[in-house]
Amino acid sequence: MSTNHQWNPVLYDSKLQFVSQYGADVVGWLSPQPGERILDVGCGTGDLAANMAEAGARVVGIDQSVNMIEQARNKYPSLTFIPMDITAECPGHYAGSFDAALSNAALHWVKKPEAAARHIYTSLRPGGRFVAELGGKGNVEVIVRAIEEVLEHHFGIDPKPLHPWYYPTIGEYSTILEQAGFQVTSAIHFERPTLLTDGESGLLHWLHAFTHDFTPSLSSADIPRFMELVQAKCQPTLYHNGVWTGDYKRLRIAASKPSQPT
């Protein structure tokens, strides 16, 4: 996914449960059916794959992070999880083999969205469905602005080349899917204020989980200071009554592969 991010599956499961909890609604959009073969793109530690398997689907979960795949396999040993970068490969035996594909909270980490769209399209049979939710334009804008200001003004680091995220508009992402061959059937961009786990430590957990790409040139002594300064900048806007609320903005999109070539 073209990022230096190192995923910590234990932190992810213990402090970021909201990711898979909100993802249950995305599964509802896909509406997996018994016997369907479904590709879970960016499956993380496997919770949504397990959700779809409980509905009777046959699920294959893929994720670039070997650590996350190992955690998924440990949690759900009866399911299939494979380490794979969706932008780099689509194995021949997967071409046209899935009835549907789902991706939750993963594709905004993909800096080559055109390649990901092509490979997801290739994996689907004619008539196959694709549903995704990802960070949309303006996602976590307060946090991003704080990260940028702290890096630039306190550490003399240009944050722009370090950004690991891609937060598109509806039009941008719909165009990418259409150019890959999809027919976009529904797309919404919406605000979803997100309560961060563990009260006053909520944003700190979030920063530990998601900001590795911004800190490779910081010393081990500088990183706590970086996180302290980011929290201080975010506090007036995002911290109220002892809890942090992330300023999430999401893009949810549904598309299908035409039943007949166009």
The tens place of each residue's pLDDT in the chain, 262 residues long, gives 445 567 766 676 665 666 777 778 999 999 999 999 999 999 999 999 999 999 999 999 999 999 999 999 999 999 999 999 999 876 667 889 999 999 999 999 999 999 999 999 999 999 999 999 999 999 999 999 999 999 999 999 999 999 999 999 999 999 999 999 999 999 999 999 999 988 999 999 999 989 999 999 999 999 999 999 999 999 999 999 999 999 999 999 999 999 976 5
Helix H or strand E encompassing 243:
strand 243-246
Helix H or strand E encompassing 190:
strand 183-191
- pLDDT value at position 13? 64
- CATH number of the domain at 1-135+168-193+247-262, out of 3.10.20.30, 3.40.50.300, 3.90.870.40, 3.40.50.150? 3.40.50.150
- pLDDT value at position 105? 94
Query: What is the identity of the amino acid at 53?
Result: A
pTM score over 0.85: yes
Q: Which residues of 39-68 are buried (b: 16+ CB within 10 A; e: fewer)?
A: bbbbbbbbbbbbbbbeeebbbbbbbbbebb
Task: Parse the chain into domains and list their residue ranges.
Answer: 1-135+168-193+247-262, 140-164+196-246
With CA atoms as reference, report the closest residue to 39 among 126, 94, 117, 100: 100
Q: How far apart are CA 85 and CA 227, in angstroms?
A: 29
